[in-house]
Amino acid sequence: MKVLIAIIVLALPAAAWNATGHRIISAIAYDRLTPAAWAKVDDLIRAHPDYSTLFTADALTDSAARARAAFLYASTWPDVIRGDTRFYDETRPDFVQTPLLPGFASMSRHVTWHYYDIPFAPDGAKPTLQSPPHALSELRRMLVHISSEPMADAAYDLPWLEHILGDVHQPLHATTRFLKAQPKGDAGGNFVFVASNAGQSITLHAYWDNLAGTDPSDDAVSKFAASVTAEYPASSDFSLNPNRWLKESFKLDRSDVYSFGLGTGTKDQPLHLSAEYDARAKVIARQRIALAGYRLAAVLNEHFR
Ligand SMILES: [Zn+2]
C-alpha cells in the first residue's frame, strides 16, 4: 500500500523549486531585510500555528539564528503540508474537508496556488485557461492585505508569500504547454520526460526544480546564496508586480525551457537534453533565484516599514 501511495504522489504535479531552492531564496531575502521588516517578519513567523512544532524542529539556542532558520523553513511549509494529513487536497474529486485547527485560516493544501499557467501552444493546439485561485490571484491578494490584515491571517499568509513568490520565478510555474499530441497540456512540464544528468528519467518540471541542487543544509544554502548574489548583484529593478514576474518566466519558457522542440518523451524513453541546454538552464535558475530573493526582501521591506 505504501508503494502505491508513493506512486500516486509522484504522479501528481510536483512542488516547485525544491526545498533547497526555496531556502536559498528566503536566505537571500532574510539577510536583506530592514530592521523594521525583520522584527515584523520574526513576530509573524513566531505567531504561525506550526512554529513550535515544525519551524523550530532543529531548534538553535541563539535566538537570531533560530528566527532565521524558522523563516527559511516557513518558505517550504506549503510543500510540507502536501504530505500532512491535517490538510486536504481540494482538487481531488472525492476530497473530504479536515477539521479547522486553531490558528489556521484554512486546512486546504491550496495546490493550485503554486502556479499560474500562461498557455503555450506552439503547434496551434487549443489551450485551456486556468481559473483562480492561482499563483497570480494569491500573490495579488497577499500583497494588498499582508501588512493590514489581522496578525493570525498575516502569520498564515507569510509562508505562502515566501513560497509562491519563489515558485513563480521557476519558469515552469508560469506555463502549461498544449500540443496537438498533448491537448490537455503538460501541467507545467510534469508530463514531459527528460534524462537527468545521472541518466534517470525525470519530468522536465523536476529537472528545473532541482537546478539549484538538492542539499537543503544551512551550509549548502548559505554558500549558494552567497555565490549567486555575488554573481548577480541586485539591480535597481525592483518590480513588485507579480504579473511581470510571471511574464518574465513565460518568456524564458518560450525562449529556453522548451527549446528542445515539440517532443514530450516518455518515462521509458526520455528526451536527452544537450550539454548547452543544461548549462543555460543552470544560468537561468541562478539568475531567477537571486532575483526572487531580492524581490522577496523588497516586498517585505515595502510592506513592513
Ligand atoms: Zn510550490
- Separation of CA 263 and ligand 1 centre (Å): 25
Return the residue matching grid coordinates 507579480: 242
In a domain, 2, yes or no: no
Say which CATH number the domain at 246 has.
Answer: 1.10.575.10
Q: How far is the CA of 162 from the centre of ligand 1 (A)?
A: 10
pLDDT tens-digit profile of 101-146?
999 999 999 999 999 999 999 999 999 999 999 999 999 999 999 9
Question: Does position 190 have pLDDT exceeding 50, yes or no?
Answer: yes
Output the pLDDT for position 16.
Answer: 64
CA 121 / ligand 1 centre spacing (Å): 23
Residue 13 pLDDT: 44
How many angstroms does the Cα of residue 80 sit away from the middle of ligand 1?
10
* pLDDT tens column, 247-287: 999 999 999 999 999 999 999 999 999 999 999 999 999 99
**Does 6 fall in a domain?**
no
Q: Tell me how far the alpha carbon of residue 46 lies from the centroid of ligand 1, in angstroms.
A: 22
- pLDDT value of position 45: 97
Ligand 1 centroid from CA 205, angstroms: 12
pLDDT at 15: 52
Give the three-state DSSP class for 264. coil
What is the H or E stretch that residue 227 is in? helix 218-231
Residue 68 C-alpha to ligand 1 middle, in angstroms? 20
**Predicted confidence band at 235 (pLDDT cuts at 50, 70, 90)?**
confident
Average pLDDT score over residue span 229-253: 92
Residue 7 within a domain: no
Predicted pLDDT of residue 238: 72
Tell me the C-alpha distance between 243 and 136, whole Å.
Answer: 7
- Summarize the confidence of residues 37-60 as an average pLDDT: 92
In the chain, pLDDT over 90 holds for what percent of residues?
88
- The alpha carbon of 15 and the centre of ligand 1 are apart by a number of angstroms equal to 5
Q: How many CB atoms lie within 10 A of CB 14?
A: 20
Question: How many Å apart are CA 43 and CA 105, to the nearest integer?
Answer: 17
Q: Is 3 inside any structural domain?
A: no
Q: How far is the CA of 40 from the centre of ligand 1 (A)?
A: 24
Strand partners, 194: 202, 271
Is residue 32 within 8 A of residue 297, CB to CB? The reply is yes
Asked whether residue 231 is assigned to any structural domain, the reply reads yes
Tell me how far the alpha carbon of residue 289 lies from the centroid of ligand 1, in angstroms.
14
CA of residue 16 to ligand 1 center, whole Å: 4
- Classify residue 48: in a domain, yes or no: yes
> Is there a domain that residue 20 lies in?
yes
pLDDT tens track for 150-169: 999 999 999 999 999 999 99
pLDDT value at position 291? 96
Task: Specify if 127 maps to a domain.
Answer: yes
Domain count along the chain: 1
Q: Which of 12-21, 53-62, 261-270 has the highest mean pLDDT?
A: 261-270
Residue of 36 and 12 predicted with greater confidence: 36
Query: From the CA of 27, how far away is ligand 1's center (Å)?
Result: 17
Distance 12 CA to ligand 1 centre (A): 13
pLDDT recorded at residue 60: 76
For ligand 1, the distance from its centroid to the CA atom of residue 60, given in whole angstroms, is 26
Q: What is the pTM of this model?
A: 0.93
Report pLDDT digits (tens) over 168-179.
999 999 999 999
Q: Give 5 Cα–ligand 1 centroid separation in angstroms.
A: 20
Q: What are phi and psi of 179, to 5 degrees?
A: -125, 155
Is the confidence at residue 6, as pLDDT, over 80? no
Question: In 187-262, which ranges are E strands?
Answer: 193-195, 201-203
CA–centroid distance, residue 167 to ligand 1 (Å): 5
> Which domain does 248 fall in, by range?
14-303
